[in-house]
Amino acid sequence: MSIAEATTAPYSEMSDRELARAELTIARKYIGRFSWFMAVWGLGNLVCWLALWPLTLSGILPLWMAFPIATINVILCYLPSHEAQHTNFSTGGPALRWFNEFIGYVSTIPMVLPFKIARLTHMEHHSHTNDPELDPDYGVKADSWQQALLTAYKRRQPGQPNAYGETLNRLGDGPVVKRAGLEGAVQVLTFWAIISALAWSGHALEAAAIWWLPRYIGTFYISLYLSWAPHFPAPEQGRYRNTRHFTHPLGNILALGMEDHIIHHLHPAIPLDLNAAAYREMKPILDARGCRDERF
């Protein structure tokens, strides 16, 4: 029997403290579990993307086939790293910390997202969700998904301010920030060096079809579903209103599991693959809290 079923008083009549206790009781059932699903996702996706290189360079796999696979790899590569940003692979103790950091660093190689920068800026996103000045992801705000794509395009044009760079500057000059900036610079420069070297050595089409274009397209998809959709229309701040539950017409898989993103903002230690179950169980409490449940 769930907590919701066991509770006799309607949630709408509960005090703030009682609701918080009921919510936490449910959340604790899902927190702390090691997610094999996310670990296999992260490493399997990376291996698949890496395999595209020898397969195409040796002529076994045609480029027209490798391109959509690589694009899917980029789209899928962020979320395992996202779990690592929240140290969800090592909630059981420090013994798995190395594994957590490993997943965090390697899973986003296809999209060239430096792990430490991602972690620092993502924590700022959680701390200041929907704050126009302090939320690094606030720039994705748009009135529709079409506008969100256009906004994502405009943000990637030359000379546009880099929200993550600005966030690092705001966070100061401490060793963690410095290290993140250094690692990020090395990783991004390495990416450009590799694809330039590939292009000049006669593999320009492979570099474009497996890395450059998929990275570009994939980051649009990620921006739409991971940043824009869960917070749309991003007018409110506060624990229970800054993120919404939404129903996507094509389902939660194509939405990368983001229909239940409110669970992640309330309890980031719950692994992505358990968010939907936690949401179903927690829904009456979230309704009593006035949380948003909308359509895409």
Residue 287 CA, chain-centre distance (Å), reads 25
Give the Cα separation of 242 and 236 in Å (integer): 5
136 versus 181: smaller Cβ distance to another protein: 181
**Site size for another protein, by CB under 8 A?**
21
Q: Which amino acid is at 250?
A: L
19 versus 117: smaller Cβ distance to another protein: 117
Q: Which amino acid is at 161?
A: P
Give the Cα separation of 46 and 70 in Å (integer): 10
Neighbours of 255 (CB within 10 A): 21
Q: Go through the chain and tell me how many residues it has.
A: 296
Q: How far is the CB of 197 from another protein (least distance, A)?
A: 9
96 versus 213: smaller Cβ distance to another protein: 213
9 versus 197: smaller Cβ distance to another protein: 197
57 versus 205: smaller Cβ distance to another protein: 205
CB-based contacts of 135: which residues, under 8 Å, 6+ apart?
124, 125, 128, 129
Residue 195 sits in the site that holds another protein (CB under 8 A): yes
- DSSP state letter for 232: T
Quick note: the x/- pattern for another protein over 125-164, rule CB under 8 A, is -----------------------------x--xxxx----
Q: Which of 65, 179, 192, 239 binds another protein (CB under 8 A)?
A: 192
Quick note: the x/- pattern for another protein over 205-244, rule CB under 8 A, is x-xx---x--------------------------------
| CA dist 35 → 13, 78, 83, 275 (Å) | 35, 15, 9, 12
Q: Which residues, numbered 157-186, are part of the site for another protein (CB under 8 A)?
A: 157-160, 181-182, 185-186
| CA dist 237 → 82, 205, 209, 210 (Å) | 22, 45, 40, 39
Q: Which of 202, 249, 251, 290 binds another protein (CB under 8 A)?
A: 202
Q: How far is the CB of 211 from another protein (least distance, A)?
A: 10
36 versus 200: smaller Cβ distance to another protein: 200
Structure tokens at 166: 């600005």
Q: Which of 123, 199, 217, 276 binds another protein (CB under 8 A)?
A: 199
Residue 39 CA, chain-centre distance (Å), reads 15
Q: Which residue has the tokens 């420069």?
A: 189
Contact footprint for another protein (CB under 8 A): 154, 157-160, 181-182, 185-186, 189, 192, 195-196, 199-200, 202, 204-205, 207-208, 212
